[in-house]
Amino acid sequence: MEAIFIVILHATVVIFDMIPLIKSGKKKEVILYASIIMISLVLGFLYALGIDIPSPVPYFEKLVMLIK
Amino acid sequence: MKKEVITQKQGIFLIIIYSIGTSIVIVTGVSAKIDLWVSIIIATIIIIPMGLIYAKLNSILPEKDLCDILEFSWGKVLGKIMISLYLLYIINTSFFVLRDIAEFFRLTVGSETPMIVPAMTLMFVSAFAVKNGIEVLARFVSFIFIPVVLFIILDNTLLLPNVDIENFKPFMYYGWKPVIKGVFNTIAFPIGEIVAFTAIFHTLKDKKVAKGTYIKGILATGIILLISSLISVLVIGPEVADIYYFPAYIATTRISIGNYLQSVEVILAFLFTIGCFVKFSILFLCASNLLTKLLAFDDYRFIVLPTGLLILSVARILFKSTSEFYYFTATIWPYYAIPFQIVFPIITLVLAETKLRKKKNQN
C-alpha cells in the first residue's frame, strides 16, 4: 500500500512540476530534476517494500568513535 | 529575477523561531541534568562571538551568499568541496527536523499514523514557502512571532504552580563533565544551527545591521531556551526529563487549572509544528540554494520539490528506531555539527580577510 502511495506521490510531482520544466526546454535542469527524483523514488519504493537499505549512520558512528 | 530583501526585525524573528522551533518540546542540554541552565548560559556565551563571525562573513562580500564566500576564501576546488560539505550538513539537519516531527506525532498524537504522513505534509507546505522565497517566509514569521511568544509565556506561566524547587538541588552534584557535554549538545542543537543564516542574510536590507541581528537573535534564543528548559526540568525532575524524548511536552501535560483548563499541551504541539515548518523551510531553502550554486544553476526554485522528496525518502531510512535516532543526536551529532558551526566559519573568515588584505596591498 505504502509503495503505491510513494509511486503516486512521485508521479504527482512529475506531472505538476516536472512537465512544465520539460516544456520550458531547459535540458540541464530537467536532467538534474529527473536524477534526483529517480533516486528518491527508488529509495522510497524499496523502503516501502520492506527491503533493508543500508544506512550510513552506523559507519559514521564508528568514525566518530575513532576520533573520540 | 526580483531581488529579495528582509529587514533586521524579520531577521531576528527568523533566528528566534528557527532556533526555538524544534527545541520547544525537547529540553536542551538535558545531559547536564539540573545544571542544564549552566550549559545553556555557557553555550549562548560561546555562540555570541560566533554570531559576530557569521555577521562578518555576511558583510565581507556584500550581496554575496555563503557559496560565493566559500569559493572566494577557499579557492575554486576547495571552495566546491566546502560547499558540498555544508550542503551535506544542512541536508542532515533537515533530516532531523523531518524525523523530529514524524516521531513527535507518532509518540504523542497519532501512534498509528505512518511516519511519512506528517513528514510529507511538512515537506509540501515548506516547499510551497521555499518556492515563494525568503521574503514571504520572513513576513509569515513576523506575523506569527507575537502569538508564538505569547503562547510560550502562557505555557511557562501555567507550569509555575507545578514547579518543585527541590529539583533544583544539588548544584553541580555530577561535576563539570555533564555540564560540558550539555554545552556541546546545546551548541550543536539548536543554538549553533544559526550558521545556516550565513546562506540567507545576504538578503538583509542593510548589511551593517547583520551583527545586531545575530546577537539579538542569539540572546533572545538563549533566554527563551533557558527559561523553558529550566521550568520543564523543575516540573518533572532531571531524571525523568532524561528518559523522555519530549520532556517539555510531558511537563506541559501536568498543567491543570481547576477542571476547566486542561490539555494545554495542544498549544505546545501547535508551536512545535510552526517551529518545524520555519526551521525546515530555512534549511530546505539553504539546501536547494547550495545545490544549484554547486552545479552552476541560476535559480534554485526548480529543484525544490525533488530535493524535498529526496530528503523525505532518506530521512526514513537513516534510523531504524526512535531510540537510535535520539542516541545519535545526543551522542554523535555534536562531533559532526560543531566543526561546521565553529571551526569552518573561523577558518573561512581568516582566509577571506587575508585574501582581501592581499588584494588591497596589490592595488
Do residue A43 and residue B295 have CB atoms under 8 angstroms apart? no
- Smallest Cα distance from A11 to chain B, Å: 11
In the structure grid, which three cell numbers stand for residue B297, read together? 544553476
Query: What pLDDT is recorded for position B348?
Result: 94
Instruction: Decide: B150 and B17 in contact? Cβ < 8 Å.
Output: no
Cα separations (Å) of B120 from A43, A60, B126, B198, B311? 15, 26, 10, 27, 10
Average pLDDT of B300-322? 91
Q: What is the pTM of this model?
A: 0.94
First-last CA distance in chain B? 34
Instruction: Decide: B159 and B248 in contact? Cβ < 8 Å.
Output: no
pLDDT category, B40, cuts 50, 70, 90?
Answer: very high
pLDDT in tens, B86-130: 999 999 999 989 888 888 888 887 667 788 888 999 999 999 999
pLDDT greater than 80 at residue B258: no
Q: Which of residues 6-65 of A touch B (CB under 8 A)?
A: 6, 9-10, 13, 17, 21, 26, 28-29, 32-33, 36-37, 39-41, 43-44, 47, 53, 55-57, 60-61, 64
Query: What pLDDT is recorded for position B2?
Result: 64
pLDDT greater than 60 at residue B1: no
DSSP secondary structure of B327-340: HIIIIIHHHHHHII
Nearest to A21 among B302, B309, B317 (CB): B302
Chain A residue numbers with beta carbons less than 8 Å from the beta carbon of B313 are 39-41, 43-44, 47
Chain B residue numbers with beta carbons less than 8 Å from the beta carbon of A29 are 297, 302-303
Q: How far apart are CA B101 and CA B246, in angstroms?
A: 11
Q: Say which amino acid occupies B311.
A: I
ipTM score above 0.90 = yes
Phi–psi pair at B204, nearest 5 degrees: -60, 135
DSSP B83: H
Closest by CA to B158, choosing from B267, B274, B239, is: B267
Question: What are the helix (H) ranges across B160-237?
Answer: 176-188, 210-236
Do residue A43 and residue B302 have CB atoms under 8 angstroms apart? no
Question: What are the helix (H) ranges across B27-133?
Answer: 36-60, 66-74, 76-104, 116-132
Q: Which of B85, B313, B324, B335 should one mutate to test binding to chain A, selecting the residue with the greatest count of A CBs within 10 A?
A: B313
- Smallest Cα distance from A53 to chain B, Å: 7
pLDDT in tens, B182-191: 999 999 988 9
Do residue A55 and residue B317 have CB atoms under 8 angstroms apart? yes
Query: What pLDDT is recorded for position B281?
Result: 95
pLDDT greater than 80 at residue B78: yes
By mean pLDDT, which of B80-84, B319-323, B345-349 is the weakest?
B319-323
Nearest to B306 among A28, A40, A55 (CB): A40
Question: What are the helix (H) ranges across chain A?
Answer: 2-13, 19-23, 27-48, 57-67
- Smallest Cα distance from B337 to chain A, Å: 12
pLDDT in tens, B135-171: 999 999 999 999 999 999 999 999 998 888 888 778 7
Query: What pLDDT is recorded for position B187?
Result: 92
Cα separations (Å) of B161 from A36, B18, B47, B153, B177? 52, 29, 33, 14, 32
Nearest to A37 among B295, B297, B306 (CB): B306
DSSP secondary structure of B228-271: HHHHHHHHH-HHHHHH-SSHHHHHHTT--BTTTB--THHHHHHH
Nearest to A40 among B295, B313, B319 (CB): B313
Average pLDDT of B285-307? 92
Average pLDDT of B179-201? 91
Average pLDDT of B14-20? 94
Give every CB contact of residue B354 below 8 A, 6+ residues apart in sequence: none
pLDDT greater than 80 at residue B228: yes
Chain A residue numbers with beta carbons less than 8 Å from the beta carbon of B319 are 55, 57
